[in-house]
Amino acid sequence: MAVKNKRGLGKGLDGLIQNKTTTAAPAAAAAPAGEPLMVELKKIREDKSQPREYFNEDKLQELAESITEHGIIEPLVVTPEGEGYTIVAGERRWRAASLAGLKEVPVIIRKYETPQQKLEEQIIENLQREDLNPIEEAKSFARLKEFVGTDDEVARKVGKSRAAVTNSMRLLRLDERVQQMVIDEKLSMGHARCLLGVEGGDSQYETAQKAFDDQLSVRELEKLVKKMQSPEKPARQKEDLTQYQLQFDEYAGRLTERLGTRVQVSLKDKSSGKLEIDFYSAADFDGLYEKLSRQ
Protein backbone atom coordinates (compact mmCIF):
# COMPACT_ATOMS: atom_id res chain seq x y z
CA MET A 1 0.00 0.00 0.00
CA ALA A 2 1.36 3.37 -0.98
CA VAL A 3 0.08 5.11 2.16
CA LYS A 4 1.81 4.19 5.39
CA ASN A 5 -0.31 4.77 8.47
CA LYS A 6 2.46 5.84 10.83
CA ARG A 7 1.11 5.62 14.38
CA GLY A 8 0.49 9.05 15.83
CA LEU A 9 1.70 10.92 12.73
CA GLY A 10 -1.72 11.49 11.22
CA LYS A 11 -3.00 13.04 14.42
CA GLY A 12 0.08 15.18 14.66
CA LEU A 13 -0.42 16.51 11.15
CA ASP A 14 -4.05 17.24 11.86
CA GLY A 15 -2.92 19.35 14.79
CA LEU A 16 -0.41 21.17 12.61
CA ILE A 17 -2.79 21.97 9.80
CA GLN A 18 -6.10 22.57 11.58
CA ASN A 19 -5.60 26.33 11.80
CA LYS A 20 -3.80 26.77 8.50
CA THR A 21 -6.65 26.17 6.06
CA THR A 22 -6.66 28.55 3.10
CA THR A 23 -8.96 29.09 0.20
CA ALA A 24 -7.17 32.16 -1.02
CA ALA A 25 -3.80 32.89 -2.55
CA PRO A 26 -0.97 33.18 -1.96
CA ALA A 27 -0.74 30.10 0.27
CA ALA A 28 2.99 30.58 0.70
CA ALA A 29 2.23 33.49 3.02
CA ALA A 30 -0.23 31.50 5.11
CA ALA A 31 2.33 29.25 6.81
CA PRO A 32 6.04 29.26 7.59
CA ALA A 33 8.22 27.64 4.94
CA GLY A 34 8.20 23.85 5.14
CA GLU A 35 5.03 23.60 7.28
CA PRO A 36 1.86 22.03 5.83
CA LEU A 37 -1.38 23.91 5.23
CA MET A 38 -4.69 23.04 3.63
CA VAL A 39 -5.39 24.05 0.03
CA GLU A 40 -8.52 23.52 -2.01
CA LEU A 41 -8.18 20.57 -4.34
CA LYS A 42 -9.44 22.61 -7.31
CA LYS A 43 -6.53 25.04 -6.93
CA ILE A 44 -4.01 22.24 -7.51
CA ARG A 45 -3.12 20.88 -10.94
CA GLU A 46 -0.88 18.07 -12.12
CA ASP A 47 2.52 18.78 -13.65
CA LYS A 48 2.38 17.66 -17.31
CA SER A 49 6.16 17.15 -17.31
CA GLN A 50 6.12 15.04 -14.15
CA PRO A 51 8.21 11.84 -14.52
CA ARG A 52 5.37 9.56 -13.48
CA GLU A 53 2.89 8.97 -16.29
CA TYR A 54 1.09 5.74 -15.38
CA PHE A 55 -1.35 5.29 -12.48
CA ASN A 56 -2.88 1.92 -11.68
CA GLU A 57 -6.63 2.52 -11.33
CA ASP A 58 -7.17 -0.35 -8.88
CA LYS A 59 -4.41 0.87 -6.59
CA LEU A 60 -5.70 4.43 -6.84
CA GLN A 61 -9.10 3.21 -5.66
CA GLU A 62 -7.45 1.36 -2.76
CA LEU A 63 -5.62 4.54 -1.78
CA ALA A 64 -8.84 6.55 -2.04
CA GLU A 65 -10.52 4.13 0.38
CA SER A 66 -7.57 4.45 2.77
CA ILE A 67 -7.75 8.27 2.54
CA THR A 68 -11.48 8.15 3.27
CA GLU A 69 -10.75 6.22 6.46
CA HIS A 70 -7.45 7.73 7.62
CA GLY A 71 -7.03 10.97 5.69
CA ILE A 72 -3.84 12.00 3.86
CA ILE A 73 -0.96 11.17 6.18
CA GLU A 74 1.79 12.87 4.19
CA PRO A 75 1.25 16.31 2.58
CA LEU A 76 1.70 16.90 -1.13
CA VAL A 77 4.58 19.09 -2.28
CA VAL A 78 3.47 21.90 -4.59
CA THR A 79 4.91 25.04 -6.13
CA PRO A 80 3.00 28.28 -6.85
CA GLU A 81 1.99 28.74 -10.47
CA GLY A 82 -0.47 31.38 -11.72
CA GLU A 83 -3.59 31.47 -9.57
CA GLY A 84 -2.93 28.07 -8.06
CA TYR A 85 -0.31 25.40 -7.52
CA THR A 86 1.42 22.70 -9.52
CA ILE A 87 2.22 19.34 -7.96
CA VAL A 88 5.88 18.53 -7.43
CA ALA A 89 5.34 15.33 -5.43
CA GLY A 90 2.15 13.53 -4.51
CA GLU A 91 0.08 13.37 -7.70
CA ARG A 92 -1.12 9.89 -6.78
CA ARG A 93 -2.39 11.18 -3.43
CA TRP A 94 -4.02 14.13 -5.22
CA ARG A 95 -5.84 11.84 -7.66
CA ALA A 96 -6.94 9.51 -4.88
CA ALA A 97 -8.15 12.47 -2.80
CA SER A 98 -10.33 13.51 -5.72
CA LEU A 99 -11.76 9.98 -5.95
CA ALA A 100 -12.42 10.08 -2.20
CA GLY A 101 -14.37 13.31 -2.61
CA LEU A 102 -12.04 15.53 -0.59
CA LYS A 103 -12.38 19.28 -1.10
CA GLU A 104 -8.95 20.20 0.25
CA VAL A 105 -5.63 18.49 0.97
CA PRO A 106 -2.54 19.21 3.08
CA VAL A 107 0.39 20.62 1.11
CA ILE A 108 3.90 21.93 1.61
CA ILE A 109 4.74 24.82 -0.70
CA ARG A 110 8.18 25.13 -2.22
CA LYS A 111 9.67 27.46 -4.78
CA TYR A 112 12.36 26.45 -7.25
CA GLU A 113 14.89 28.64 -8.95
CA THR A 114 15.30 26.35 -11.97
CA PRO A 115 13.28 23.58 -13.71
CA GLN A 116 16.20 21.26 -12.95
CA GLN A 117 15.73 21.63 -9.20
CA LYS A 118 12.07 20.69 -9.46
CA LEU A 119 12.79 17.75 -11.77
CA GLU A 120 15.47 16.39 -9.45
CA GLU A 121 13.10 16.48 -6.49
CA GLN A 122 10.33 14.79 -8.47
CA ILE A 123 12.63 12.00 -9.64
CA ILE A 124 14.21 11.40 -6.26
CA GLU A 125 10.85 11.45 -4.46
CA ASN A 126 9.43 8.88 -6.87
CA LEU A 127 12.54 6.69 -6.75
CA GLN A 128 12.52 6.66 -2.95
CA ARG A 129 8.89 5.57 -2.99
CA GLU A 130 9.56 3.09 -5.83
CA ASP A 131 6.60 4.70 -7.59
CA LEU A 132 8.12 4.73 -11.08
CA ASN A 133 7.83 1.82 -13.45
CA PRO A 134 11.04 0.93 -15.39
CA ILE A 135 10.09 3.01 -18.45
CA GLU A 136 9.16 6.07 -16.40
CA GLU A 137 12.44 5.72 -14.52
CA ALA A 138 14.38 5.54 -17.81
CA LYS A 139 12.58 8.63 -19.15
CA SER A 140 13.31 10.47 -15.90
CA PHE A 141 17.01 9.76 -16.17
CA ALA A 142 17.01 10.83 -19.82
CA ARG A 143 15.31 14.14 -18.96
CA LEU A 144 17.69 14.80 -16.10
CA LYS A 145 20.61 14.06 -18.41
CA GLU A 146 19.42 16.91 -20.64
CA PHE A 147 20.21 19.25 -17.73
CA VAL A 148 23.37 17.69 -16.29
CA GLY A 149 24.98 16.31 -19.45
CA THR A 150 26.38 12.89 -18.52
CA ASP A 151 25.30 9.51 -17.19
CA ASP A 152 27.83 9.89 -14.37
CA GLU A 153 26.25 13.14 -13.19
CA VAL A 154 22.74 11.67 -13.39
CA ALA A 155 23.94 8.74 -11.28
CA ARG A 156 25.43 11.11 -8.72
CA LYS A 157 22.23 13.14 -8.50
CA VAL A 158 19.92 10.15 -7.95
CA GLY A 159 22.29 8.04 -5.86
CA LYS A 160 22.59 5.12 -8.25
CA SER A 161 25.50 3.53 -10.07
CA ARG A 162 26.39 4.74 -13.54
CA ALA A 163 25.75 1.25 -14.94
CA ALA A 164 22.25 1.21 -13.43
CA VAL A 165 21.43 4.59 -14.98
CA THR A 166 22.88 3.68 -18.39
CA ASN A 167 21.14 0.29 -18.51
CA SER A 168 17.87 1.92 -17.48
CA MET A 169 18.02 4.47 -20.31
CA ARG A 170 18.77 1.70 -22.84
CA LEU A 171 15.15 0.55 -22.38
CA LEU A 172 14.07 3.63 -24.34
CA ARG A 173 15.52 1.95 -27.45
CA LEU A 174 12.71 -0.58 -27.28
CA ASP A 175 9.72 -0.28 -29.57
CA GLU A 176 6.98 1.81 -27.92
CA ARG A 177 4.61 -1.17 -27.98
CA VAL A 178 7.17 -3.21 -26.05
CA GLN A 179 7.68 -0.33 -23.60
CA GLN A 180 3.94 -0.33 -22.97
CA MET A 181 4.06 -4.07 -22.22
CA VAL A 182 6.70 -3.33 -19.57
CA ILE A 183 4.50 -0.57 -18.12
CA ASP A 184 1.52 -2.97 -18.07
CA GLU A 185 3.72 -5.51 -16.24
CA LYS A 186 3.36 -8.05 -19.04
CA LEU A 187 7.16 -8.16 -19.29
CA SER A 188 9.78 -7.99 -16.57
CA MET A 189 12.95 -5.90 -16.65
CA GLY A 190 14.86 -9.08 -17.49
CA HIS A 191 12.63 -9.75 -20.49
CA ALA A 192 12.96 -6.13 -21.63
CA ARG A 193 16.77 -6.27 -21.53
CA CYS A 194 16.75 -9.47 -23.61
CA LEU A 195 14.60 -7.80 -26.26
CA LEU A 196 17.20 -5.08 -26.76
CA GLY A 197 19.12 -7.70 -28.72
CA VAL A 198 16.34 -7.98 -31.32
CA GLU A 199 16.73 -5.72 -34.35
CA GLY A 200 13.70 -3.82 -35.63
CA GLY A 201 10.58 -2.60 -33.86
CA ASP A 202 8.21 -5.13 -35.39
CA SER A 203 10.53 -8.04 -34.59
CA GLN A 204 10.90 -6.78 -31.01
CA TYR A 205 7.14 -6.55 -30.59
CA GLU A 206 6.46 -9.97 -32.15
CA THR A 207 9.10 -11.55 -29.92
CA ALA A 208 7.70 -9.76 -26.86
CA GLN A 209 4.22 -11.04 -27.68
CA LYS A 210 5.55 -14.59 -28.01
CA ALA A 211 7.32 -14.27 -24.65
CA PHE A 212 4.06 -13.11 -23.05
CA ASP A 213 1.75 -15.59 -24.79
CA ASP A 214 4.03 -18.58 -24.19
CA GLN A 215 4.97 -17.40 -20.66
CA LEU A 216 8.67 -17.69 -21.49
CA SER A 217 11.14 -17.30 -18.65
CA VAL A 218 13.98 -14.82 -19.04
CA ARG A 219 16.37 -17.71 -19.73
CA GLU A 220 14.08 -19.13 -22.41
CA LEU A 221 13.76 -15.71 -24.03
CA GLU A 222 17.55 -15.30 -23.98
CA LYS A 223 17.90 -18.56 -25.90
CA LEU A 224 15.25 -17.49 -28.41
CA VAL A 225 16.92 -14.12 -29.02
CA LYS A 226 20.33 -15.77 -29.36
CA LYS A 227 18.91 -18.14 -31.95
CA MET A 228 17.43 -15.17 -33.83
CA GLN A 229 20.81 -13.43 -33.80
CA SER A 230 22.61 -16.50 -35.19
CA PRO A 231 20.16 -18.39 -37.39
CA GLU A 232 21.22 -21.84 -38.51
CA LYS A 233 22.78 -21.82 -41.94
CA PRO A 234 20.91 -23.92 -44.47
CA ALA A 235 22.66 -27.21 -45.09
CA ARG A 236 24.74 -27.19 -48.26
CA GLN A 237 23.35 -29.45 -50.89
CA LYS A 238 25.71 -32.36 -51.24
CA GLU A 239 27.29 -32.52 -54.66
CA ASP A 240 26.64 -35.63 -56.67
CA LEU A 241 30.11 -37.17 -57.05
CA THR A 242 29.02 -40.43 -58.61
CA GLN A 243 30.50 -39.86 -62.07
CA TYR A 244 33.74 -38.51 -60.60
CA GLN A 245 34.03 -41.42 -58.15
CA LEU A 246 33.70 -43.91 -60.99
CA GLN A 247 36.56 -42.23 -62.83
CA PHE A 248 38.82 -42.17 -59.77
CA ASP A 249 37.91 -45.78 -58.98
CA GLU A 250 39.26 -46.69 -62.41
CA TYR A 251 42.53 -44.89 -61.62
CA ALA A 252 42.66 -46.64 -58.25
CA GLY A 253 42.22 -50.02 -60.00
CA ARG A 254 45.19 -49.31 -62.31
CA LEU A 255 47.37 -48.35 -59.33
CA THR A 256 46.30 -51.54 -57.51
CA GLU A 257 47.53 -53.64 -60.45
CA ARG A 258 50.79 -51.71 -60.77
CA LEU A 259 51.67 -51.63 -57.06
CA GLY A 260 50.36 -55.06 -56.15
CA THR A 261 48.29 -53.85 -53.18
CA ARG A 262 44.87 -52.32 -52.65
CA VAL A 263 44.56 -48.61 -53.60
CA GLN A 264 41.38 -46.65 -52.79
CA VAL A 265 40.25 -43.04 -53.55
CA SER A 266 37.66 -41.20 -51.37
CA LEU A 267 36.40 -37.92 -52.79
CA LYS A 268 35.49 -34.77 -50.80
CA ASP A 269 34.38 -32.96 -53.91
CA LYS A 270 34.97 -33.34 -57.62
CA SER A 271 38.62 -32.25 -57.42
CA SER A 272 39.90 -33.26 -53.96
CA GLY A 273 39.90 -36.26 -51.70
CA LYS A 274 42.05 -38.93 -50.08
CA LEU A 275 44.27 -41.63 -51.61
CA GLU A 276 44.78 -44.78 -49.50
CA ILE A 277 47.43 -47.42 -50.25
CA ASP A 278 47.45 -50.55 -48.10
CA PHE A 279 50.59 -52.24 -46.81
CA TYR A 280 50.85 -55.20 -44.41
CA SER A 281 54.45 -55.23 -43.26
CA ALA A 282 57.60 -53.16 -43.19
CA ALA A 283 58.79 -55.10 -46.23
CA ASP A 284 55.56 -54.20 -48.09
CA PHE A 285 56.12 -50.55 -47.24
CA ASP A 286 59.75 -50.64 -48.43
CA GLY A 287 58.65 -52.23 -51.68
CA LEU A 288 55.95 -49.62 -52.26
CA TYR A 289 58.39 -46.85 -51.44
CA GLU A 290 60.85 -48.16 -54.00
CA LYS A 291 58.18 -48.48 -56.73
CA LEU A 292 56.77 -44.98 -56.07
CA SER A 293 60.23 -43.41 -55.86
CA ARG A 294 61.26 -44.88 -59.19
CA GLN A 295 58.13 -43.53 -60.85
State yes or no: is 257 an active-site residue. no
Question: Can you say how many angstroms the Cα of residue 153 is from the centroid of all Cα atoms in its chain?
Answer: 21
Residue at 104: amino acid letter: E
Q: Cβ distance 116 to 147 under 8 Å?
A: yes
Give phi and psi for 139, each to the nearest 5: -65, -35
What residues have CB less than 8 Å from 77, skipping those under 6 apart? 87, 88, 89, 90, 107, 108, 110, 121, 125
Q: Catalytic one among 91, 104, 120, 137?
A: 91
Q: How far apart are CA 257 and CA 220, in angstroms?
A: 61
Ordered strands of the 37-40 beta sheet: 21-22, 37-40, 104-109, 76-81, 84-89, 44-45
Cα three-residue angle 159-164-167, rounded to 5 degrees = 145
Q: Catalytic residues, which ones? A: 91
